[in-house]
Amino acid sequence: MKLFYSGPVVNAEMLVVMLEKHGIAATQEFEDASMPDDGDLSRPAKVLVPEVDYARAHQLFYTEREGEL
């Protein structure tokens, strides 16, 4: 698995769902797993994707927007 995104859990959860709709089996983990899950949507999380799907995931979510930066 390869790190694809790091940020608030609310964004990570949505990204995992969107990746799954494109057939990419992403997983979400909290940055600090020792902290209790208190429902804080701004809690830092990360999204991991299989290495074989990383390039396709990057193309789906980042390539079009690189021109906007």
Domain of 13: which CATH number?
Answer: 3.30.70
Number of structural domains in the chain? 1
**Residue numbers in the chain where pLDDT is lower than 70:** 64-69
Model confidence, pTM: 0.83
Question: What's the pLDDT at 68?
Answer: 53
Residue 58 · residue 10 · CB < 8 Å: no
Instruction: Give the range of the structural domain holding residue 20, as residue numbers without chain letter.
Output: 2-33+42-68
Question: What's the pLDDT at 34?
Answer: 87
Residue 1 · residue 52 · CB < 8 Å: no
Is 49 buried (19+), middle (13-18) or exposed (0-12) by CB count in 10 A?
Answer: buried
Tokens, residue 2: 């390869």
In eight-state DSSP terms, residue 66 is G
